[in-house]
Structure 1
Amino acid sequence: MARSNRRQKRRRPMAEINVVPYIDVMLVLLVIFMITAPMITQGVDVELPKASAAAIQEDSKDVLIASVDSKGQFYLDVGGKQQSITLDALKARVRKVLSQNPGTPVMVRGDKNVSYGAVIGLMVALQGAGVPNVGLVTDPDNT
């Protein structure tokens, strides 16, 4: 009967959240992000090496050469015939040539005084025309 007079102590449910596992996970994620963040940065200043590259062996196939002059005008050279062309017309013409000859190599020539954006615009247009990859034409380094 002594029990009935005394109130029984019942275990109440704990109303606290154990945050220790969450803190551990957060610390691991923090370390991962601290390590990977410097690798993601773009626009790092680098000095590119100067090197002489071997000339590409010419095949029997015609080579498409898309060019940008110093004024930003676009040209397309198909089989030795060079003509001034707009970017949209160049895209359509390259698409047509590649549909007839899918393995035709495409090269890009850019004047050294033209803006970088014009060359990138040309390469984006070529990619939109279905060119899987392009080669960049340069003068040989004679130093």
Structure 2
Amino acid sequence: MAAGTIQPGGSGGNPRRRRRGSGNAPMAEINVTPFVDVMLVLLIIFMVAAPLLTAGVPVELPETAAAPLPQEQEEPLAVTVTAEGIVQIGSTEVPREELVTRLQAIAGERESDRVFLRADGSVPYAEIMVVMGALNAGGFRNIGLVTEPGGPTLTGAGAEGTE
């Protein structure tokens, strides 16, 4: 073949050659992958940070092997008993003599009678029972005790941690 012959697939030029101007045409697609990645990272950050924002009182919760309670639509009421014996409704400190009247006022405004009792592990059992009695007298019959997961169990492998 001679040097000037026409190659198959075109007019003698490179068959892989692009048309003029097609390389500079604007893309009609939007790449949403970076946006989704950023949103997932923000979701994880907020999921981790949200529980830290609800409880501003340092309390050493006792550990247990019990399963957590299911979540409700209404924001749960939390009553906290600190290591010093201070009782708080949410983040507001309440004197013990006013506890029942405040709880009755709150119970009248709420749909649910569920309350979560958070107590420091060093608080004596008798003091926790006094607060539970006040919760009951205030109109809250559904009391959940808040603990940290991963505590000792009374069955099998976890029994050695119950000293």
The residue type equivalent to 2:140 in the other structure is V
Of 83, 98, 101, 1:70 maps to 83
Aligned residue in 1 for 2:147: 138
Of 78, 92, 95, 2:101 maps to 92
Structure 2 unpaired stretches of 5+: 1-62, 153-163
The residue type equivalent to 1:55 in the other structure is P
Q: Provide the rounded CA distance (Å) in 1 between the counterparts of 2:148 and 2:68.
A: 10
The residue type equivalent to 1:116 in the other structure is Y
Q: Give the C-alpha shift of residue 51 in structure 1.
A: 5.5
Q: Give the C-alpha shift of residue 110 in structure 1.
A: 1.1
Aligned residue in 1 for 2:35: none
Q: Give the C-alpha shift of residue 57 in structure 1.
A: 2.5
Query: Secondary structure in 2 aligned to 1:106?
Result: strand
Q: Give the C-alpha shift of residue 142 in structure 1.
A: 5.6
CA shift in 2, pair 1:51/1:90, >3 Å = closer
Q: Provide the rounded CA distance (Å) in 1 between the counterparts of 2:134 and 2:113.
A: 16
Q: How many residues are matched?
A: 90
Of 120, 136, 157, 1:127 maps to 136
Q: Provide the rounded CA distance (Å) in 2 between the counterparts of 1:86 and 1:70.
A: 15
CA shift in 2, pair 1:109/1:51, >3 Å = closer
Question: TM-score, with normalisation over the residues of structure 2?
Answer: 0.49
The residue type equivalent to 1:132 in the other structure is R
The residue type equivalent to 2:67 in the other structure is A
Structure 1 unpaired stretches of 5+: 1-49
Task: Report Cα offsets for 1:91-142 as digits up to 9, x if no partner.
Answer: 2222112112241411111111111121111011111112123111100016
Aligned residue in 1 for 2:52: none
The residue type equivalent to 2:74 in the other structure is K
Q: Provide the rounded CA distance (Å) in 2 between the counterparts of 1:96 and 1:118.
A: 23
Question: TM-score, with normalisation over the residues of structure 1?
Answer: 0.56
The residue type equivalent to 1:85 in the other structure is V
Segment drifting more, 93-102 vs 114-123: 93-102
Conservation of the 8 A alpha-carbon contact between 1:63 and 1:104: no
Aligned residue in 2 for 1:4: none
CA shift in 2, pair 1:94/1:141, >3 Å = same
